[in-house]
Amino acid sequence: MASQSSQGSKLSSQEQSALISDIVLYILSQDHTKYPIKRQDIVKNVLKTHGRHYKHIMNEAAHVLTEIFGMKLVEIEHSSNMKQYILVNNEQFLRDVSDLKWPEEVEAQQVLLMLLLSLIFMSGGVVKEEVMSSFLTRLGIMNGRKSHEYFGDVWKLLTVEFVRQMYVEYVRIPESNPPKYEFRWGHRAKGEVSRRELLNFVSLVYGCDPKNWVTQYQEVLQAESEKEKKREEDGK
Amino acid sequence: MAAVEATPRNMLRVPSNYRDLHKRFLQILMNRRMVSYEDAFRLFCKMYQSEEPDEEEATAGPCPKDMELAVSIINKVIKGLNMEIRCAQDEITPAKYYLLVNTVDSHISRTFSKFSAAELEFFKTVLSEIVTSEDGCISSTACLNLNSSLPGNMTKSDTEALLEKFCKYQWLYQKDGKVHLTILSIVELEPLILSAYEDYVNICRLCKRIVMQGYRCDRCLALLHLHCVHLYTKGVDRIHSCPVCSADQPEMLAAVKNIPFHSGDDNRIPSASSRENKTGKGSARK
């Protein structure tokens, strides 16, 4: 027993394994919504009376998620000390979109997401809401506030759903009066979306070489080298 | 990062040959739960080749045995999480599938299931009807009427929508007005079915697994999987006798004749563990 835990915990190795396994299953089952998972929910629903082992068990669970499933558990610091997590998938795994099968409404959302993430990326990382709005209108995806047949309530997806899922940030421009907002990439997009693939896609649409977009191409290279460094650090 | 503990039952012990390829394959199975052998192999080849994009590896290409080996490696790793990838054949088609199942009925999967408690109750009722039925399936209309025996007010259209939902998540499938259990349900619920429906459930004498639909001997009434019978009839001197009671069964060969079994390959289900040694000649790919 002494060799089991490094924290002097009173859990048997069997109990530990069971809790780790439960947490992993819980996180995986909640992941399909893409909403952040709250620490308090994990404690309430899984750990219950074993709340004090939280830190140790979460470490192990995170390890399992990375080593076995290839997904990274990322902590999101929320306001008022409320910890949240998102499960960020490996960008390499998501390259071929046809591998994983999603319900139709999710697929529509993924298309929409790609479009807006592309716009933000090509525009240097920030896009004002009017620019986004007119972009989508020009594409015929938005028509005022009317619901689109395939995409649904587009503006709500952009400003509420995708924000909640941490794909985009919709933030108020400081000092703006009347308040104006802008879009940026969110945490999840930074982890899961390949900038290279986006640039390739845009280049395809414009019929040119990705390298022509000098700034963006530099960003691609930088993001890739950062990720490579991170992977080596994590001992992958 | 937490240090890996060196205990035998440690679920964190990941073998050195476990890599991205295995993680991706596992993710696909988690996403789809049920993947045909052919689709799985196609995806496996794609992922395998994207690993080593240089010329030499590209011409070699993986074979099904590589995939089966990868599956057994994954299974060793996910065993501690009470998960397993199993291979099974659909009773009717009889296409081979890889299935990702939970080996233990965890309270987590039940509580945080995509289905509410009431919906799961309904499923249990449907399951019960199917298992205790004559032919291993029930009519869709009978299914829709089952809601009346349950508490709560589910209308006909609610029930229909629920049935669709079960089909969407591959717990059931509907064909020609009948509702069947998918092979995923049969495999995952095997322990439950064996214990709760002991007196009703049929076990195929050839493979020793549950059989819902198949060939029935008209003398001893034994129910056998069509694919098991097909394998059995490959032994030329046995094609007319029941494998269980040896009664003359002239219809038996005809019953399996028109079914699209994979030709030219070993129809045995590859073992998920490395217990058996497979010869696996040729590719299961069409």
Q: What is the CATH number of the domain that holds A27?
A: 1.10.10.1200
Residue A111 sits in the same domain as residue A176: yes
pLDDT for position B12: 64
What is the identity of the amino acid at A166? M
Q: How far is B217 from chain A (nearest CA, A)?
A: 41
Residue A19 forms part of a structural domain = yes
What is the rounded CA–CA span in Å between residue A56 and residue B12?
Answer: 14
Vertex B14 angle, CA B106 and B31, to 5°: 50
pLDDT for position B280: 37
Q: How far is B100 from chain A (nearest CA, A)?
A: 13
Closest CA to B136 of B194, B191, B202, B209: B202
What is the rounded CA–CA span in Å between residue A168 and residue A184?
Answer: 6
Neighbours of A105 (CB within 10 A): 11
Residue A112 sits in the same domain as residue A187: yes
Residue A235 forms part of a structural domain = no
Query: Is-cis flag, bond preceding A178, omega within 30?
Result: yes
Q: DSSP for A86-118?
A: EEEEPTTTTSSTTSS---HHHHHHHHHHHHHHH
pLDDT for position B39: 93
Residue from B4, B7, B11, B39 to probe the interface with A (highest A Cβ count within 10 Å): B11
Among A4, A28, A235, beta carbon nearest to B7:
A4
pLDDT (average), residues A179-187: 94
Q: How far is A18 from chain B (nearest CA, A)?
A: 8
What is the rounded CA–CA span in Å between residue A187 and residue A167?
Answer: 6
CA torsion sign for A122, A127, A133, A134 is negative
> Chain A to chain B, count of Cβ pairs less than 8 Å apart?
93
Closest CA to B26 of B109, B83, B65: B83
What is the rounded CA–CA span in Å between residue A189 and residue B240?
Answer: 62
Domain final residue pick, A54, A88, A122: A88
In chain B, residues with a C-beta closer than 8 Å to the C-beta of A26 are 108, 112
DSSP designation for A79 = G
Is it the case that residue A209 has pLDDT exceeding 60?
yes
Among A17, A28, A234, beta carbon nearest to B1:
A234
Find the residue in B nearest to A21 (Cα). B81
Could you tell me where the DSSP H helices lie in B79-208?
107-111, 117-131, 140-145, 156-168, 183-188, 190-196
DSSP lists the bridge partners of residue B203 as B210
Residue A210 forms part of a structural domain = no
Residue from A3, A9, A12, A21 to probe the interface with B (highest B Cβ count within 10 Å): A21
Residue A231 forms part of a structural domain = no
Q: Which residues, given as ranges, of chain B have pLDDT below 50?
A: 1-9, 263-267, 271-286
In chain A, residues with a C-beta closer than 8 Å to the C-beta of B6 are 3
Residue A28 sits in the same domain as residue A98: no
pLDDT for position B262: 63
Among A4, A21, A26, beta carbon nearest to B112:
A26
Residue A42 sits in the same domain as residue A20: yes
Residue A76 sits in the same domain as residue A164: no
Helix (H, G, I), strand (E, B) or coil at B172: strand
What is the rounded CA–CA span in Å between residue A191 and residue A186?
Answer: 9
What is the rounded CA–CA span in Å between residue B47 and residue B36?
Answer: 16
Whichever domain contains A178, its CATH number is 1.10.10.1210
With cut-offs at 50, 70 and 90, classify the pLDDT of residue A94: confident
Domain count, chain A: 2
Q: Is B26 on the interface with A (CB under 8 A)?
A: yes
Among A6, A20, A90, beta carbon nearest to B11:
A20
Cβ <8 Å between B1 and A59: yes
Helix (H, G, I), strand (E, B) or coil at B191: helix
Token readout for A179 is: 């308040």
Residue A213 forms part of a structural domain = no
Predicted ipTM beyond 0.90: no
Q: Which domain holds residue A141?
A: 93-193
Residue A151 sits in the same domain as residue A118: yes
Residue A131 sits in the same domain as residue A58: no
Residue A184 sits in the same domain as residue A111: yes
Contact B213, B135 (CB under 8 A): yes
Residue A222 forms part of a structural domain = no
Helix (H, G, I), strand (E, B) or coil at B248: strand
Residue A22 sits in the same domain as residue A78: yes
Q: Is B2 on the interface with A (CB under 8 A)?
A: yes
DSSP designation for A25 = H
Domain final residue pick, A62, A88, A114: A88
Residue A118 forms part of a structural domain = yes
What is the rounded CA–CA span in Å between residue B204 and residue B225?
Answer: 6
Among A45, A60, A89, beta carbon nearest to B2:
A60
Find the residue in B nearest to A60 (Cα). B2
Residue A24 sits in the same domain as residue A61: yes
Higher-scoring residue by pLDDT: B270, A56: A56
Residue A75 sits in the same domain as residue A129: no
What is the rounded CA–CA span in Å between residue A102 and residue B30?
Answer: 12
Helix (H, G, I), strand (E, B) or coil at A165: coil
Among A21, A29, A93, beta carbon nearest to B24:
A93
pLDDT for position B56: 55
Can you give the C-alpha Rg of chain A in angstroms?
21
DSSP lists the bridge partners of residue B101 as B84
Mean pLDDT score of chain A: 87
Cβ <8 Å between B43 and A62: no
Residue A112 sits in the same domain as residue A77: no
Token readout for A195 is: 């900038």
Q: Is B79 on the interface with A (CB under 8 A)?
A: no
Cβ <8 Å between B9 and A64: no
Helix (H, G, I), strand (E, B) or coil at B89: strand
pLDDT for position A7: 46
pLDDT for position B230: 87
pLDDT for position B57: 52
Domain final residue pick, A73, A88, A103: A88
Find the residue in B nearest to A29 (Cα). B112
Contact B95, B102 (CB under 8 A): no
Cβ <8 Å between A63 and B32: no
Q: Is B58 on the interface with A (CB under 8 A)?
A: no
Residue A20 forms part of a structural domain = yes
What is the rounded CA–CA span in Å between residue B142 and residue B130?
Answer: 11
pLDDT for position B55: 53
Find the residue in B nearest to A97 (Cα). B28
DSSP designation for B269 = P
pLDDT for position B67: 95
- For chain B, give the longest Cα–Cα distance: 66
Query: A106-125, pLDDT tens digit by residue?
Result: 889 988 999 999 999 999 99
What is the identity of the amino acid at B75? N
In chain B, residues with a C-beta closer than 8 Å to the C-beta of A61 are none
What is the rounded CA–CA span in Å between residue B60 and residue B51?
Answer: 13
Cα dihedral A151, A155, A160, A165, rounded to 10, equals 40
